[in-house]
């Protein structure tokens, strides 16, 4: 049984800072098996903890005496769910999802968890974080089985959910279906799914997106990040291994492998995506960002009076920079914590003010100061250009920009929404050298000086082996390959082939 609500907004628009496309936090997944406990409320708080991973839509599926109930809608977790709704969602198992679309349109039909019913009447709900690179192959498989029709605009998650449900039969459990399906699924995926009785979780063989396992006093939890375990009072047990499929119910925790582990975790989780209080593969995210800031200060010193972050994601690196450089740290920008998304169509005049909805300078702090401004990344550069202009108008004497990641030169096909190659500011100049690229970007955004942390320094800060991280958005090396039938991927192929030919 599926309960759905949707307020029919005419259009969904970001107040996007002159058209800026920031790195989007893709999605977050959560799952809990805890008989006798309020699993819907645990899921609510778990999703609340990972709200940063997706602010477009939220949903949950709860399995209990009334069967498998799914409730989902556009908006933040706190907007979608209220006390009375959570009270009505009673059961022993639940999964939840926060969404920012990277595959599939920004519409209610693509909000997760996805719900399906097998030909034998078995309900299945699935939540997915990531992107599949063989979507067309899976879609063709679903069409051949009559699960979707030609011309259907189903997302990769919807196709995967349909195939999973279709594999359940009299002699085949959902676990059997998953064990057969997952070896054929390519790309990045961290999954939670349920039939209303058992909690299942799986992670792609490369472990691109994080997924962790926690223990409650009377139950189990899986989540995208350890911060979600903390908020529901679960003890961290371990990460779900890449290529691992687990099942949790009254029989306990069962695990099996569907593929060999080939670690290629997303380095951008450490730089920007994950919450600073989360831990990935034993390395605290906040500590990583502090170390990146320290290395930035060593490799790109600046003559400044004050180090200020672009809040919130730039704050840990700015603290690290200040500590290493000896330049005082200060809060020169105030962030409006209540700005997430808006459904109001801004005029061009209002769009020019977009960044001021999010950030406003403290004139008394920055006036007359030589500022070292630390940010997590530059994508198109529009945000930084507007920010630097605003700081100068507020009286900054100089603005030296330091970036806690290398230049973003390539789009991501594994679950992060970046711009196309032509839209990335790192690709606007003709000089491919780091020095030439940096100077082009510096001039474009209007900074006095500009410095990026190198790929090597960034990777070293994570304390992970370099060969076990995906750095594709920085170096164009795509360990999981590129999707077929994707115009953006085709453009990347052309650029990579041209670069190989030139060599």
Number of Cα atoms under 13 Å in the Cβ half of residue 368: 2
375 is in an annotated binding site: yes
Positive or negative, the CA dihedral 267, 48, 44, 4 is negative
Per DSSP, 352 falls in state T
Secondary structure of the chain: what % helix, strand, coil (to 5)? 35, 25, 40
Decide: 328 and 306 in contact? Cβ < 8 Å.
yes
Provide the 3-class DSSP secondary structure of residue 297.
helix
Q: Tell me phi and psi for residue 246, to 5 degrees.
A: -120, 155
In terms of residues, how long is the chain?
Answer: 503
d(CA 359, CA 387): 8
DSSP structure class, residue 107: S
277 is in an annotated binding site: no
E strands, 38-182, are 57-64, 67-74, 93-99, 114-117, 123-132
Q: Is 260 exposed, middle or buried (0-12, 13-18, 19+ CB in 10 A)?
A: exposed
Q: Which of 22, 27, 57, 207 is catalytic?
A: 27
Beta strand 27-33 pairing with 306-309: unpaired
Please give the distance of CA 468 from its chain centroid, rounded to a whole number: 19
Q: How far apart are CA 267 and CA 271, in angstroms?
A: 7
Nearest to 308, CA basis, from 386, 388, 380? 388
**Helices of type H across 98-209:** 135-144, 156-166, 174-181
CB 377 within 8 A of CB 310: no
CA distance 284 to 281: 8
Known binding residue 227? Answer is: no
Sign of CA dihedral 330, 336, 337, 339: negative
CA distance 284 to 270: 8
Active site residue 27: yes
Q: Tell how strand 398-403 and strand 370-375 pair up.
A: parallel
Which residues are 402's β-sheet partners?
Answer: 374, 451
Binding region: 266, 313, 375-376, 412, 470, 473
- Known binding site for [4Fe-4S] cluster: residues? 266, 412, 470, 473
Q: Which residues are catalytic?
A: 27
Q: Which residues are annotated as a binding site for Mg(2+)?
A: 313, 375-376
């Amino acid at each position: 049984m599926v309960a759905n609500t949707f307020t029919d907004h005419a259009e969904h628009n970001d107040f996007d800072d002159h058209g800026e496309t920031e790195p989007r936090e893709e999605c977050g997944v959560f799952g809990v098996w805890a008989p006798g406990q309020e699993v819907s409320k645990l899921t609510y708080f778990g999703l609340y903890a990972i709200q940063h991973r997706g602010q477009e839509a939220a949903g949950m599926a709860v399995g209990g005496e009334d069967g498998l109930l799914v409730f989902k809608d556009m908006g933040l977790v706190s907007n979608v769910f209220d006390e009375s709704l959570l009270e009505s969602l009673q059961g022993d198992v639940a999964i939840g999802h926060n969404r920012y679309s990277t595959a599939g349109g920004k519409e209610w039909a693509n909000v997760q968890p996805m719900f399906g019913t097998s030909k034998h009447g078995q309900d299945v709900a699935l939540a997915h974080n990531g992107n599949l690179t063989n979507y067309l192959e899976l879609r063709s498989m679903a069409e051949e089985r009559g699960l979707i029709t030609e011309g259907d605009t189903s997302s990769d998650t919807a196709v995967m959910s349909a195939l999973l449900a279709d594999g359940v039969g009299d002699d085949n459990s959902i676990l059997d279906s998953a064990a057969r399906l997952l070896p054929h699924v390519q790309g990045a995926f961290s999954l939670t799914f349920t039939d209303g009785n058992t909690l299942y979780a799986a992670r792609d063989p490369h472990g691109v997106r994080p997924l962790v396992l926690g223990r409650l006093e009377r139950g189990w939890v899986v989540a995208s990040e350890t911060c979600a375990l903390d908020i529901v009072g679960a003890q961290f047990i371990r990460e779900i291994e890449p290529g691992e499929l687990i099942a949790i119910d009254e029989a306990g925790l069962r695990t099996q492998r569907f593929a060999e582990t080939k670690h290629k975790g997303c380095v951008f989780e450490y730089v920007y995506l994950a919450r600073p209080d989360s831990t990935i593969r034993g390395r605290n995210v906040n500590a990583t960002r502090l170390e990146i800031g320290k290395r930035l200060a060593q490799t790109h010193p600046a003559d400044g009076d004050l180090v200020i972050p672009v809040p919130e994601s730039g704050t840990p690196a700015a603290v690290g920079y200040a500590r290493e450089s000896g330049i005082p740290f200060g809060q020169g920008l105030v962030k409006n914590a209540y700005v997430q998304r808006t459904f109001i169509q801004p005029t061009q005049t209002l769009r020019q003010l977009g960044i001021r909805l999010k950030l406003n300078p403290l004139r008394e702090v920055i006036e007359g100061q030589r500022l070292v401004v630390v940010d997590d990344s530059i994508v198109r550069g529009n945000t930084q250009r507007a920010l630097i202009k605003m700081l100068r108008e507020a009286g900054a004497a100089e603005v030296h920009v330091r970036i806690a990641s290398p230049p973003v030169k390539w789009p991501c096909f594994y679950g992060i929404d970046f711009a196309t190659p032509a839209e990335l500011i790192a690709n606007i100049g003709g000089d491919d050298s780091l020095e030439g690229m940096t100077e082009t970007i510096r001039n474009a955004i209007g900074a006095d000086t500009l410095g990026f942390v190198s790929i090597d320094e960034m990777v070293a800060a994570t304390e992970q082996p370099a060969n076990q991280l995906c750095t594709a958005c920085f170096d164009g090396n795509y360990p999981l390959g590129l999707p077929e039938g994707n115009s953006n991927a085709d453009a990347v192929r052309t650029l990579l082939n041209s670069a190989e030919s030139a060599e």
